[in-house]
Structure 1
Amino acid sequence: MGRPKYFTPNEVSLHSTLGDLWVSYLGKVYDLTPLIEEHKGDVLLKPIIECAGKDISHWFDPKTKDILTHVDPLSGCVKYYTPRGRFVHVPPPCPRTDWSNDFGRPWWRDNRYEVGILSAKTRWIRIINTLTSQEQRLEVCSEETLDEILQRYLRYNSHAGSYTWKHNSVSLDMSKTLSENGIPDEDEEFYHARMDRDLFCQSICLYFNDDLTEF
């Protein structure tokens, strides 16, 4: 298996329709579109649909990785805590004969829906093509290597692999992250200085190698 793909919160938010529904929780990203299709028309989908494209980590206990629970004040029993309303695979509050529990794993424990990892910290960079003088501003995941960032940049330049990537005139190791290449993330410094981080972001310059290759 290859290295897991990282996603920015903004990328997750773009998948917010019934035909393309993603959520993130506990650091992972999940495509719940098949679940929505399987239970199409079920009112128990409502809480999930309302949170399409969002992070729902607050639904879960980070230790057990299960839905949060509480003690029902009326029955004294431990039950799932679902303030937005009961959703798919959550048992009803009282025993019922019309609820099927033979679905196997509940969706939040089913790794078939997992598509990647939610970035713990994103950052913005400028990529400058010194051959064409074109510049692109990209939001990337701090955990990504330069090779993975290159994949993001291909939409702007399909020949990106034919360039040497440099920062401050130093060639970058494409197998390492921005920080590992000595490109600092200065967001915290900007925050403490009460400066707008959008006013400045680190730049990477691309130098053409004369060995044109296309991805």
Structure 2
Amino acid sequence: MARPKYFLPSEVAVHNKPDDMWLSFLGKVCNLTPLYHQYKGHILLKPIIAEAGKDISHWFDPVTKDLRKHVDPITGIRKYYTPHGRFLHVPPPLPRSDHITEFGRPWWRDSAYEIGLLSQKTRYICIVNTLTLHEHVVEVCSEENIKEIVRRYLYYNAHAASYTWKYKGKVLDMQQTLEDNGVVDEDEDFYTLRIDTKKYLQTIHLYFNDDLTTA
């Protein structure tokens, strides 16, 4: 099974427009842009658009993984609790002839919108290139392995995948997380991942290049 992709809350936050709309809830990150285009102009999109780029886990029951419910004080009927207004795929409190039910799974249960997982803990690391002495502080997901962190660092150094990554002189295992490599998180203290200029063997070098270009 392929590893899930992890996202920083800040990465979700920038997708906060109707035509570029991400949400996170219950640890999942969903791209609801296709939902917007499908129902563009529908009034029931408004509560969802208002939360674009945010985490809406408080909308859901953590046990059932479904929307929270309550007993309507007027009708006495148990229904979905939507204090910010009813939204797409939530049935009306009373039967209505204009309510469409042929949409299949409600969007919050449809895995087609899921693009990854929200990091439960992020951390900052200071990466030092020992050849140029350039330093960059990068926010990463604690669940990511070193190879995935390298992908983030490629923004600053396109050759980073061909370097040997070390911490306190020890070569890091690229398939393991920082924690698994012994790089313990000490809250706000920064760690230094040292990169030297020694190249990997050609087979490893090609492996990383192929992996990064096809991901």
- Is 1:209 aligned to 2:198, yes or no? yes
Runs of 4+ aligned residues of structure 1 deviating over 3 Å after TM superposition are 210-215
Distance 2:100 2:176 in 1: 49
Pair 1:128-2:128 in alignment = yes
Does the alignment pair 1:166 with 2:166?
Answer: yes
TM-score (norm 1): 0.91
Once the two structures are aligned, what percentage of the paired residues are identical? 57
Aligned to 1:66: 66
What is the aligned partner in structure 2 of residue 194 from structure 1? none
Q: CA deviation at 1:210?
A: 4.3
SS in 2 for 1:52: coil
1:31-53, CA deviations, whole angstroms, 9 ceiling, x for partnerless residues?
00000110100111111111000
Q: Could you tell me which amino acid in structure 2 is paired with residue 100 of structure 1?
A: I
Residues 82-101 of structure 1 aligned to structure 2 (within 5 Å): 82-101=82-101
CA deviation profile, 1:77-99 (whole Å, cap 9, x unmatched): 10100001000000111110011
The equivalent residue for 1:137 is 137
Cα distance in 2 between the residues matched to 1:161 and 1:33: 32
Unaligned stretches of 5+ residues in structure 1: 188-196
* Alignment-mate amino acid for residue 133 of structure 2: S
Of 110-119 and 94-103, the range deviating more from structure 2: 94-103
Q: What is the alpha-carbon distance in structure 1 between the residues aligned to residue 88 and residue 156 of structure 2?
A: 41
CA offsets 1:9-29 (integer angstroms, 9 cap, x no match): 111101111111000000010
Instruction: Answer whether contact 2:128 2:134 (CA < 8 A) is retained.
Output: yes
CA distance, structure 2, for counterparts of residue 3 and residue 170 of structure 1: 25
Aligned residues: 204
* 2:192 alignment partner AA: S
Report what 2:183 is aligned to.
183
Distance 2:102 2:64 in 1: 22
Question: Which one-letter code corresponds to 1:207 in the other structure?
Answer: D
Q: What whole-Å deviation, never above 9, does each CA across 1:184-213 have from its counterpart, x for those lacking one? A: 1111xxxxxxxxx2xx31110100124696
CA-CA distance at 1:56 after TM superposition: 0.2
- Superposed counterparts of 1:50-61, under 5 Å: 50-61=50-61
Tell me the equivalent position of 1:192: none
| Aligned-residue offset at 1:134 | 1.1
Matching residue of 1:16: 16
The code of the aligned residue for 2:131 comes to: L
Unaligned runs of 5+ in 2: none
The question of 1:7 aligning with 2:7 is answered yes
SS in structure 2 of the partner of residue 65 of structure 1:
coil
CA drift of 1:69 comes to 0.4
- Which residue type is aligned with residue 208 of structure 1? T
CA displacement, residues 162-203 of structure 1 (integer Å, 9 cap, x when unaligned): 11111111111111100111111111xxxxxxxxx2xx3111
Separation of aligned partners in 1, 2:42 and 2:198: 56
CA distance in 2, matches of 1:17, 1:111: 21
